[in-house]
Structure 1
Amino acid sequence: MKILAHRGWWLEPTEKNSETAFRRAFENGFGVETDTRDQNGVLKIAHDMPVGDDVMDLDYFLALHKSYAGSGTIAMNIKADGLQTLLRSALDKVGISDLFCFDMAVPDALGYFKAGFVAYTRHSELEPVPPFYDKAEGVWIDAFYSDWITAEVVQKHLDAGKRVALVSPELHGRDPAAAWDAWSDLKGDTIAICTDLPHLAAEKWG
């Protein structure tokens, strides 16, 4: 099971998507989930609309990831349309390939496939039929309202040749214990968990 620290391994909410949280995750061998948007033609690490000059550049984030030999996969949440060319340029410049994109709008996703990105579709209560399933390399499985994701749901996607990333319930304010128990036997590099508790996930699946 790969571990993706949600917006880095943060200990206080103010650390989300910060250099401190990313360094903590990379130092411990975790991957990260993070967000990118553009600001005046420059890609930034930002969940919400970037304001001011203090928002981290994507280039800086990628260089930080590259500087840690044991850092894991990057799950890049795409927060705006039309970023393919800028993102491809940034990745090629640093030489990072262990990254997948997700959460693109459906029409915008087609540009990612055309540009050769690894992209995941979404499966949730709101998206029971994942879009562009045939083109996607993986599935981002989310549970907004209840713990509906079973091992059987995951296995169905694996049997279809897809990688899977599971969204842990604490990201939506729920206790993850029951879901983690349901997923306890899931193993292998084709499965990832996106969590605010990467250290505990490492104890369970490491």
Structure 2
Amino acid sequence: MDILAHRGLWKSPEEKNKMLSLERAFKSGFGIETDLRDYAGNLVISHDLADGGSCYAEELFAAYRDYGENLILALNVKADGIQGLLKPLLEKYDIKRYFLFDMSIPELVVNARESLLFYTRHSDIENECVMYEQAKGVWLDSFYDKYWLTRDIIERHLMNNKAICIVSPELHGYSYEFAWKMLKENGYHKNRLISLCTDMPNKAKEFFYE
């Protein structure tokens, strides 16, 4: 199981989605989840509306080339129509272990047409996975029910040869213990098709592997 640092390996909220925390995650052996959108003709990293202080996505990809090879980049797409900015950068830095997610349905169609790798969604409020056959994997999330994620749900997608990224419950303000215990008891931490997106990557590494 790959551990993804949610918006980087940050030590304070101000460091989220900053190059300091993103590079720190790579150097610590973690993949990352981060947010992409366009600003003034460039691809930038920003969860909220971008401004002149947003990091350029190319800085992230360059750091990935230097420190993060073979780690996973989970790229949360916050704006439509960024393929023309994104695809050349992925090719320039020869990035293979990435996936796009959370884009609109029309953008899913465009990404499939452009042969960009993307995950569809399955959650406690989304029972149908849009473009499931074309998706490389599934982003598993739960907004209201901290017990929603089960072995049956995971096995259903694995049987269809889909990669899975699990949103750790603390991202929505819930306790993570139940979900982490279920993953470990079923041996999912040993499965390379599975990744975990968490605000506590160091704690997850200790829980699952030390």
Normalising by structure 1, we get a TM-score of 0.96
Q: In structure 1, what is the Cα distance between the partners aligned to 2:101 and 2:60?
A: 18
Between 1:117-126 and 1:67-76, the stretch displaced more is 67-76
Cα deviation for residue 71 of structure 1 reads 6.0
Equivalent position amino acid for 1:195 in 2: T
Cα deviation for residue 5 of structure 1 reads 0.3
- For residues 132-174 of structure 1, what are the alpha-carbon distances to aligned partners after superposition, in whole Å with 9 as ceiling and x for unaligned? 1111010000011122001221111000110000000000011
Cα deviation for residue 205 of structure 1 reads 2.6
- For residues 78-116 of structure 1, what are the alpha-carbon distances to aligned partners after superposition, in whole Å with 9 as ceiling and x for unaligned? 001111121101111111111110001011111111111
- For residues 13-53 of structure 1, what are the alpha-carbon distances to aligned partners after superposition, in whole Å with 9 as ceiling and x for unaligned? 111001121121111110000000000211000001102x2
Q: Which residue of 1 aligns with 2:198?
A: 195
Q: Which residue of 2 aligns with 1:162?
A: 162
Q: Secondary structure at the match of 1:192?
A: strand
Q: Map 1:69-88 to 2 at 5 A.
A: 72-88=71-87
Cα deviation for residue 69 of structure 1 reads 5.0
Q: Secondary structure at the match of 2:88?
A: helix
Cα deviation for residue 70 of structure 1 reads 5.0
Q: Which residue of 2 aligns with 1:30?
A: 30
Q: In structure 1, what is the Cα distance between the partners aligned to 2:112 and 2:170?
A: 31
Contact 2:31 2:68 in 1 (8 A): no
Cα deviation for residue 129 of structure 1 reads 0.8
Unaligned runs of 5+ in 2: none
State the identity %: 40
Q: Secondary structure at the match of 1:161?
A: coil
Q: Which residue of 2 aligns with 1:21?
A: 21
Q: In structure 1, what is the Cα distance between the partners aligned to 2:18 and 2:70?
A: 16
Unaligned runs of 5+ in 1: none
Cα deviation for residue 65 of structure 1 reads 1.1
Contact 1:29 1:71 in 2 (8 A): no
Q: Map 1:100-119 to 2 at 5 A.
A: 100-119=99-118
Contact 1:10 1:21 in 2 (8 A): yes
Q: In structure 1, what is the Cα distance between the partners aligned to 2:21 and 2:180?
A: 23
Q: In structure 2, what is the Cα distance between the partners aligned to 1:18 and 1:71?
A: 21
Q: In structure 1, what is the Cα distance between the partners aligned to 2:53 and 2:129?
A: 36
Contact 2:22 2:32 in 1 (8 A): yes
Q: In structure 2, what is the Cα distance between the partners aligned to 1:21 and 1:44?
A: 15
- The ranges of structure 1 where at least 4 consecutive aligned residues each deviate by more than 4 angstroms after the TM superposition are none
Q: Secondary structure at the match of 1:122?
A: strand
